[in-house]
Structure 1
């Protein structure tokens, strides 16, 4: 959601410092049966989120953790700002507004008062979330706001989330892959089950205001993927714009700037962008489920 790098870094590094003083059992909280980081949100925030008022021109990006949402967010910000042709002064005003209002980088993060503050942000607002449809504020699905849903093959998502969990100070580490994998498959991780997340979003695949795009599709041909995203949101860019943004938002380019853009979080966030082939992903899926569950999940 935020374009303000300083604010993003400040939020995370303050949380990292606080995490050192909190016992493991207090690191997470449960809301409607799903776990979340206690230093980034609260049950009160989730209750307040129901009042969030979506606008028809909101740009909403949804994806489970470690499916590539940080990358997608940066890509879409570049596309949106290029289309809007903000002047340097206008961009400064938008950044200052987010800093002054203490906006957080995900819809579900922050204190309960954040949704009142969000009303004061100028359009177009870019809103990121890891939430599935049933936990989104009702106004999002009821409005004409467009939602871009990012998906990634489950094997890569599971492996990436494993490393993230064991390196992220705000989460409780796992002692082994087996322990982690059992939690992944049973949805006992923050943001719950990735399989449930996929299945629920799949119910909206034909919704006129929702488009799904895969991490693998974007990696294979980023320019083509960005053109699809731009067409979906109604952004108008020239061929040179797409090439420039693709170069600026490549994994390597973002990793090299991660200290500047994400502070200490950069080393945790940007690990690798490798993609497993679809056969490996399918085998992973199959051995994790019975035949009935496997085909239902697909």
Structure 2
């Protein structure tokens, strides 16, 4: 296991062990009106994050939990490795060696950002945060942001199963209990529909590229090509195929214990589209449809999600 993956596994393992000793009600804290897991984040870290200095060549992946950030992280790590003339899978593409940091910007101790100043460029950064909660330097620097979004019904279905498998989050006795929490803004990292609405304000920025989980599933070759082009990374046909193969769900699930430790199966459960149909009732469908329309109906991100295609029973 290379150092980048070991760091990821160590952080998740510790957070899960610490969370298992807490009651469900103790696993979250509120910061500026949004809930976060106490074993991953802290108010002190958020305060320190405000002074984080982004670089113009930082490579940033923004996505709500369960939108596919682990999947697209694999793609980006391989693309960065190729840009540095390395072979994907032979060594960590970014944030290498002793300076390794957990890639999620808001996860870790307050001293993390000082250590990140010593990381070589390009730094690979992942975040679940809304844009207004990111440090101002990210937008001032014009660093490129890949904005990953997914249809809200599959987000909810995936998050429900995920929450019940990792003690980092509160668990739910029934899907109905989870759905109420999801629709009443009681979710970790906040309400997803509000997240979409907030990010929609940045959807037309030149340094922001929205991409959907579904379009990557439909045509992974085109998706990887577009991501590489956005970040200015040249690929041969052979390199393109390698990145696509290594980031397939089958490949990532097979290697999940190496890359994500004991909880690999929780991170890579099904990796499909429309699993929401196994959970949503007719009433729940109607409530989600109405809420989606109220928050992002008619917006650029709302249209990009093809709600009529992916979220109608």
Q: Same fold (TM over 0.5)?
A: yes
Residues 285, 294 of structure 1: 8 Å contact kept: no
* Residue aligning to 2:272: 274
Residue 227 of structure 1 aligns with which residue?
A: 225
Name the Cα RMSD after superposition. Answer: 2.6
Distance 1:92 1:63 in 2: 21
Cα separation, partners in 2 of 1:243 and 1:45, compared to 1, 3 Å: same
Runs of 5+ consecutive residues of structure 2 not aligned to the other structure: 298-313
Q: Evaluate the alpha carbon distance shift between residue 63 and residue 141 of structure 1 in structure 2; reply closer, same or farther with a 3 A threshold.
A: same
Q: TM-score scaled to structure 2, two decimals?
A: 0.87
For structure 1, the residue ranges without an aligned partner over 5 or more in a row are: none
1:39 counterpart residue number: 39
Question: Are the aligned partners of 2:40 and 2:108 in contact in 1 as well (CA < 8 Å)?
Answer: yes
SS in 2 for 1:128: strand
Matches within 5 A, 1:1-20: 4-20=4-20
Measure how far apart 1:268 and its partner are: 0.9
Q: CA deviation at 1:10?
A: 1.3
- Give the distance between the partners of 2:155 and 2:252, measured in 1 at CA: 19
TM-score with structure 1 length normalisation? 0.91
1:103-118 alignment to 2 at 5 Å? Answer: 103-118=101-116
CA drift at 1:284 = 8.7
Asked if 1 retains the 8 angstrom alpha-carbon contact of 2:64 and 2:189, the reply is yes
Taking the aligned partners of 1:267 and 1:90, their CA distance within structure 2 comes to 23
Quote the offset at 1:16 in angstroms: 2.1
How many angstroms does 1:285 deviate by?
A: 8.6
User: Residue 144 of structure 1 corresponds to which residue in structure 2?
Assistant: 142
Question: Structure 2 vs 1, CA of residues 82 and 43 (structure 1 numbering), >3 Å: closer, same or farther?
Answer: same
Match of 1:28 in 2: 28
Q: Which residue of 1 aligns with 2:120?
A: 122
Q: Residue deviations 1:77-110, cap 9 Å, x none?
A: 11111122148998599521334xxx22310000
Asked whether the equivalents of residues 64 and 151 of structure 1 are also in contact (C-alpha less than 8 Å), the reply is: yes
